[in-house]
Amino acid sequence: MSWHPLETITTSSPPPPSSPSSVNRTASIAGSSSESQVCSSAPSMYASQILLQYLPIPKSLKHPSNASQNSFLTTFKPSSKTTLKLRAILSENSLLSEDGSLFKHCFTKSEDGYLCCEGLRVEDVMNNVEKSPFYLYSKPQITRNFQAYRDALEGLDSIIGYAIKANNNLKILEHLRKLGCGAVLVSGNELRLALHAGFDPTRCIFNGNGKLLKELVLAAQEGVFVNVDSEFDLDNIISAARIAGKKVNLLLRINPDVDPQVHPYVATGNKNSKFGIRNEKLQWFLDAVKAHPNELKLVGAHCHLGSTITKVDIFWDAAVLMVNYIDQIRAQGFKIDYLNIGGGLGIDYYHTGAVLPSPRDLIDTVRELVLSRDLNLIIEPGRSLIANTCCLVNHVTGVKTNGTKKFIVIDGSMAELIRPSLYDAYQHIELVSPSSPGAGISTFDVVGPVCESADFLGKDRELPTPASGAGLVVHDAGAYCMSMASTYNLKMRPPEYWVEEDGSVAKIRHAETFEDHIRYFEVLVELPNYGNSNSDGKPLKLL
C-alpha cells in the first residue's frame, strides 16, 4: 500500500532503600495540555498510562546442564498480593499534580458532557473522518509522558528505550525519536523499523528469546545492544558477530525470579518463564563470553519482570538482586557499565483515581543503587508512555437483549482491540456525547460483530442506553491494541489519527482495505519442481 502525505482535518468546533514500598503518587503524567478550543476544562480528569549465510559455532562451546551453581543463587520473598476492585463508572476524583494544581489529561469531559481530546470534541472528529472504528491519539500527551521519564532521570546517565512492541506506528516512533528516545526491539522487523524511523542504533536494545541469525547480523552491523537470552542465542550472536565483522555489545538477561504480581501472560521474570537465563547458569555464560573476546563484549545486565506492575518495591527487589550480580561479574574482570531494569509500569485502566506509582517513583526507587555502582540506567517503558494517549473510537450499531443480558453492539471488536478477550483486561468505556434525556442507565456487555463469543470490549458496564450511531470509546488504547490488531473475519485494521499541538487532527496511518487484502494473492509464482508430482504426473503448483 502506498503511503500518502499526512492528511490534516480541521474541525469546527523516592522511597529510601529501607522503605521501598512507601509510594504515594499517582501514575498520571504531570504536564499541561493545550488550552481547550471547543470544550472547557473538565471537572473529571482521567488518572493515568529487519540472506545471510550461517557460520558454524565451535563445538567447544558446550551448553550447561541444569545443574545448579549456587554462587549466583539468591532467594526472594515476594510481597503480598492485592486485589483491585472492578469499577465500570467514571471516577469523578480530581487528580492533583505535584505542585498542587489540577492535573490536565488529553481526554476530558466538558461541562456539557462531551468527551474531548485536547479540547476537541471526539464527536466532531468522528464527523470529519471517513471510517469507523479508528484510533485517536493525543500527540501532546505522548510528549508529556516522555517528559515525565526524562525529568525523573535527571542526574542519571540513562537511556529511555521505548518498547516498540507496545505501538509500532511510524509517526509515533519518529516523534519519540525526536524527543530523545532510544528503542527496545523484540524482532528483526522492529529493528528495521527503528532504523527506518531514524533511531540511534547505539541507543537501541535487541531483546527476545528467539532472535534469528539474520536479525542478529543486522544488529551487530548497526551496533545495537543485544540481550543474551539462552545458550543457543549466544551461539547465534557469536556467528552474527563473525559475519558482521564487528564485536557485539552484550547484556545478560538474568531471570531474577521476582514475582511481579500481574496476569501470568505478562509476567516474564519468574523462574519458569521462557525469557532470560537462570542465575545458576551465569558462570557458564561468563566463561563463554571470556572465550570469545573477538566477538563479544559484555557491557551490562538486564532484567524484565513483566507488565502492568503497580508496585515499585518490585523494581527495588529486582534491582537489589541485579546490582549484586553486577558486583560479582565485575569481580571477574568484566567492565559492566549498564543496568537495564526493563519496563512494565502500570496505569490506571479503571479510571478510579487510584494512587499508582509514577515514572519518578520508579526511578527514585533505584536511583541510589544505580549511583552507588556508577551505572548507566536503561529503562524500557512502553505502556506508560503511550497507553493513556489514545482511545478506540466506535459507532454503536444497536442495542439488544438476550435473556437477562443486555448488549451494546459496536463496529469495533476484538480484531481491532484484543486485550479484553485475550487477558480479560479491563479498559474504561464511555459514550462521547450526553445521552438523551429519557435514556436510562443499564448494565451492558459491550461487544463487537466478530463471530466469537469472546468478542467483547467490556462486560457489565453501567452506561446510558445509547442510540444507534452514537459514539463510544474504549480508553487507554495506545499500547498493545493496534499493534496486536488482526484481520479476523476480514475486519481490516483501522486508521489512526492524532490531535496535534495546534489542535488540528492529522491522519498518521491509513486504514487497510479489502483491495489491500486481494493484492496479497496477485501474481503468485509457481514453486520449482523438486521431484514431487500429483497423480497425473504434473508438477505441483502454488495455488
Active site residues: 451
What is the CB neighbour count within 10 angstroms for residue 367? 18
Cβ atoms 417, 393 nearer than 8 A: no
User: Cβ-count burial of 89 within 10 angstroms (0-12 exposed, 13-18 middle, 19+ buried)?
Assistant: middle
Edge to edge, the sheet with strand 120-121 lists: 107-109, 115-117, 120-121
Cβ atoms 206, 190 nearer than 8 A: no
Give the three-class secondary structure for 233: helix
What is the SS3 assignment for 366-380?
Answer: HHHHHHHCCCEEEEC
Cell of 27: 501514575
What is the CB neighbour count within 10 angstroms for residue 188? 20
Q: How far is CA 517 from the centre of its chain?
A: 27
The residues, ordered by sequence, that sit 6+ positions from 372 with a Cβ below 8 Å of its Cβ are 323
Q: b/e map of 458-470 (b: 16 or more CB within 10 Å)?
A: bbebebbbbeeeb
CA dihedral sign, ordered 251, 336, 307, 497: negative
Bond prior to 434 in cis (omega within 30° of 0): no
Cβ atoms 1, 493 nearer than 8 A: no
How far apart are alpha carbons 1 and 187 in whole angstroms? Answer: 22
Cell of 37: 478550543
How far apart are alpha carbons 5 and 376 in whole angstroms? Answer: 39
How far apart are alpha carbons 238 and 217 in whole angstroms? Answer: 10
How far apart are alpha carbons 138 and 125 in whole angstroms? Answer: 13
User: Cβ-count burial of 362 within 10 angstroms (0-12 exposed, 13-18 middle, 19+ buried)?
Assistant: buried
How far apart are alpha carbons 328 and 330 in whole angstroms? Answer: 5
How far apart are alpha carbons 14 and 22 in whole angstroms? Answer: 8
User: CA separation (Å) from 248 to 216, 217, 404, 525?
Assistant: 9, 10, 61, 39
Residue 411 corresponds to which amino acid?
Answer: D
* Residue located via cell numbers 524484565: 304
Task: State the DSSP H helix or E strand holding residue 407, giving kind and residue range, or none if neither.
Answer: strand 405-410
Cell of 297: 563484549
Cell of 285: 555464560
Cell of 407: 448488549
DSSP lists the bridge partners of residue 408 as 399, 446
